[in-house]
C-alpha cells in the first residue's frame, strides 16, 4: 500500500521514476494514433521537399534577394526565441555584435570611402571568424569530453558539461555564419565604391599594376609616402594585391574570384599552411548551416500550421 502511494506521489518519486511515469502516460495518450502520426510524418517530408525546391530555385534565379532575406531571417529568428525563452546571455552578445557590426556596415557603405575602412572592416570580421572558430571547436570538444565520460574525472555533472558544449558550439556556428554574410555584403559595397569591382558587369576603373583592387591603395609605397606596407600576393590571373586584403576578400568575404577580372581563385594554392586549410572547410560548413539556422524554424512553423488546419495533434 505504501509502495502504491509512493508511486502516485510525484514529490516522493525519483527522477527515473518520474520520467518512466510520463513516458507511460504519453504512450497511453497516443495509443491508436499511428495513422495520424504517419500522416504527420508525410506532411513533414513533403513540406521539406517542396521548401527545398522553392529555396533552390529562388537562390538560382534571384541570388541577391535570397541572401538578403536569409540574413534577415538569421538575425531576427534567434532574437524572437531569445526573448520568448529569456535567454539573456545570448541577447547581450547578440546586442553587442549587432551594435558593432551596424557601425562597421555604416562605415563600409559611406561614399566616398575612407582609405582605412576596408582594412578596419576585414579586421573586425576576421576577428569574429577566428573567435567563432575557436568557440565552436571548444564546444565540440566539450561535447566529446562528456560523451566519453571524461567529465567524471573532474567531478563535473554530465548535464552541465554537455550544456556548456552545446551552447558554445551554437554560439560559434551562429556568429560564424552571421559574420561571413555581413562581410560579404560589406565586401560588395566597398569594392563597388572603390571602382575596380562590379558584381554585375564591367568595373568603372582600369586597374594599374601598383594598386590593390580590394582597398584601392598603392601596393608599393615609397619611404616618404603615406600608405600600407605589407606582403603582397599574386593570383593566377597575375593581378597583385595586399596579402591581408585578398585573404579577407576570399576567406572572410566568401569571394572565390579575382576582385577585378572575376577569374576563379584557387583557395588551396593560397593556403600554403595545412592548418589554414581547415578554415576553408569551416567556411563551407558555415554556408551549409545557413539553411538550418534561417529556414528550418520557418519550415517547422509551416508544418505545425498545416497539422493544425487538418486537425492533427
State the DSSP code for 249. I
Q: What is the Cα 169 distance to its own chain's centre?
A: 11
Instruction: Give the span between the Cα atoms of 258 and 249, in whole angstroms.
Output: 9
pLDDT of residue 103: 94
pLDDT of residue 2: 47
Nearest of 127, 108, 109, 128 to residue 178 by alpha carbon: 128
In this structure, which topology does domain 206-272 adopt according to CATH? Herpes Virus-1 (3.30.40)
* Full pLDDT tens readout for the chain, 313 residues: 444 444 455 556 666 677 777 767 766 666 556 677 778 888 888 888 888 888 888 878 887 788 788 888 888 877 887 888 888 888 899 999 999 999 999 998 888 888 788 888 888 988 998 898 899 899 999 999 888 888 888 888 888 888 889 899 889 888 988 888 888 888 888 877 877 676 666 666 777 777 888 887 777 655 454 555 677 888 888 888 888 888 778 777 777 788 888 788 776 676 655 545 566 667 667 767 776 667 777 888 888 888 888 777 6
State the DSSP code for 130. H
Answer whether 0.75 is exceeded by the pTM: no
Instruction: Give the span between the Cα atoms of 216 and 245, in whole angstroms.
Output: 10
Nearest of 188, 190, 214, 185 to residue 113 by alpha carbon: 190
Domains in the chain: boundaries:
32-84+290-312, 87-195, 206-272
Three state DSSP letters for the chain: CHHHHHHHCHHHCCHHHHHHHHHHHHHHHCCCCHHHHHHHHHHHHHHHHHHHHHHHHHHHHCHHHHHHHHHHHHHHHHHHHHHHHCCHHHHHHHHHHHHHHHHHHHHHCCCCCCCCHHHHHHHHHHHHHHHHHHHHHHHHHHHHHHHCCHHHHHCCCHHHHHHHHHHHHHHHHHHHHHHHHHHHHHHHHHHHHHCCCCCCCCCCCCCCCCECCCCCCECCCCCCCCCCCCCEEECCCCCEEEHHHHHHHHHHCCCCECCCCCCECCHHHHCCCHHHHHHHHHHHHHHHHHHHHHHHHHHHHHHHHHHHHCCCC
Amino acid at each position: 500500500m505504501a509502495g502504491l502511494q509512493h508511486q502516485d506521489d510525484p514529490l516522493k518519486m525519483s527522477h527515473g521514476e518520474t520520467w518512466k511515469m510520463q513516458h507511460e502516460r504519453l504512450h497511453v495518450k497516443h495509443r491508436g494514433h499511428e495513422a495520424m502520426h504517419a500522416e504527420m510524418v508525410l506532411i513533414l517530408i513533403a513540406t521539406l521537399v517542396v521548401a527545398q525546391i522553392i529555396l533552390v530555385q529562388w537562390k538560382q534565379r534571384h541570388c541577391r534577394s535570397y541572401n538578403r532575406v536569409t540574413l534577415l531571417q538569421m538575425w531576427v529568428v534567434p532574437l524572437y526565441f531569445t526573448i520568448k525563452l529569456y535567454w539573456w546571455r545570448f541577447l547581450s552578445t547578440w546586442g553587442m555584435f549587432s551594435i558593432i557590426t551596424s557601425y562597421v556596415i555604416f562605415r563600409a557603405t559611406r561614399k566616398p570611402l575612407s582609405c582605412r575602412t576596408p582594412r578596419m572592416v576585414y579586421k573586425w570580421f576576421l576577428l569574429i571568424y577566428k573567435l567563432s572558430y575557436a568557440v565552436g571547436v571548444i564546444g565540440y570538444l566539450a561535447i566529446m569530453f562528456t560523451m566519453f565520460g571524461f567529465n567524471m574525472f573532474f567531478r563535473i555533472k554530465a548535464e552541465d558539461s554537455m550544456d556548456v558544449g552545446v551552447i558554445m558550439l551554437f554560439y560559434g556556428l551562429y556568429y560564424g555564419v552571421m559574420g561571413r554574410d555581413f562581410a560579404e555584403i560589406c565586401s560588395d559595397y566597398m569594392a563597388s565604391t572603390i571602382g575596380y569591382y562590379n558584381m554585375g558587369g564591367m568595373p568603372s576603373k582600369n586597374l594599374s599594376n601598383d594598386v590593390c583592387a580590394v582597398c584601392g591603395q598603392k601596393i608599393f609605397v615609397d619611404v616618404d609616402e603615406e600608405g600600407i606596407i605589407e606582403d603582397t600576393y599574386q593570383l593566377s590571373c597575375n593581378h597583385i594585391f595586399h596579402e591581408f586584403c585578398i585573404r579577407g576578400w576570399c576567406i572572410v568575404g566568401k569571394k572565390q574570384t579575382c576582385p577585378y577580372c572575376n577569374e576563379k581563385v584557387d583557395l588551396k594554392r593560397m593556403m600554403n599552411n595545412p592548418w589554414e586549410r581547415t578554415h576553408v572547410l569551416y567556411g563551407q560548413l558555415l554556408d551549409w548551416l545557413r539553411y538550418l539556422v534561417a529556414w528550418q524554424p520557418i519550415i517547422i512553423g509551416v508544418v505545425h500550421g498545416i497539422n493544425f488546419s487538418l486537425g492533427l495533434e
